[in-house]
Amino acid sequence: MTHEKQDEAVPAPRPRPHHAAPPSASSYDRDRYLVLRAQDGDINAFEQLVERYQGRLFRTAYMIVRNRHDSEDIVQETLIQAWRSLHLVREPAAFRSWLMRICTNKATSMTRKRQRRATDPYDSESLETASAMAGTTSSSTTDPAESSEVNAQIEALADLLASVRPELRIVWVLREVDDMSYEEIAQALNLTESTVRGRLARARALVMRQMKEWS
């Protein structure tokens, strides 16, 4: 991946004990290892973090803004900001929540901007891109039938969430699509867990209402 941060001078590595992440390391341990390496100026470590999360970022952004190009911009801006601000991460194992906070903030801002102007509905190309990018964080498939099924699911979710307010939609996506814990969502959105649970309950009720209307 190419982004602006690579053009900037990378600081010389700071002395830090080397902690290798074993192959069986948990996701948090792996993130911690890669973040510490990246904070020492290891661009390759940051690229590995990008590979781990760019699909998730795109999927989350797309489910919120429902536009391929806006989602791509959000992902690019999120990764650039993450690289520039990586030194601010004090809890490397919580990198995922920190990164999703940047993404959701940008997606929310983009949604507000788009609400102030006419927007086009999603198209098949957007859905195919969302499906393909989502596959980078899960098992990929070359089965056309399965790919079509995934596209149909994304389309249905996009329709269901279209009428849900952004602050509720984000919580629903992070919980139901990205399978983040209440604690992780609270950290990502800078909310209390009780607020997260309340918003999620309202979002679920709205989604269920929409599903009943369709049935």
17-68: pLDDT as tens digits: 444 444 445 778 899 999 999 999 999 999 999 999 998 898 888 888 888 8
In a domain, 5, yes or no: no
Answering whether pTM is above 0.85, one says no
Residue 12: C-alpha distances to residues 33, 39, 40 (Å): 18, 10, 7
- Work out the average pLDDT over 1-10: 47
pLDDT for residue 18: 45
In a domain, 105, yes or no: yes
- Tally the domains of the chain: 1
How far apart are alpha carbons 159 and 212 in whole angstroms?
Answer: 13
Handedness of CA 44, 103, 77, 53 (dihedral sign): positive
In a domain, 102, yes or no: yes
With CA atoms as reference, report the closest residue to 12 among 49, 36, 31, 40. 40
The four Cα atoms 75, 80, 84, 86 give a dihedral, to 10 degrees, of 30
In a domain, 197, yes or no: yes
How far apart are alpha carbons 170 and 63 in whole angstroms?
Answer: 8
Q: Which domain holds residue 178?
A: 23-117+143-212
Six token digits for residue 100: 């999703």
Cβ distance 97 to 186 under 8 Å?
no
Cβ distance 131 to 156 under 8 Å?
no
- Work out the average pLDDT over 158-171: 81
- Work out the average pLDDT over 71-92: 94
Can you give the CATH number for the domain in which 110 is found? 1.10.1740.10
Tell me: the pLDDT tens digits for 91-146? 998 899 999 999 999 998 887 776 666 445 554 455 455 445 444 444 333 444 44
pLDDT for residue 146: 42
In a domain, 61, yes or no: yes
In a domain, 127, yes or no: no
In a domain, 122, yes or no: no
In a domain, 3, yes or no: no
What single-letter amino acid sits at 85?
S
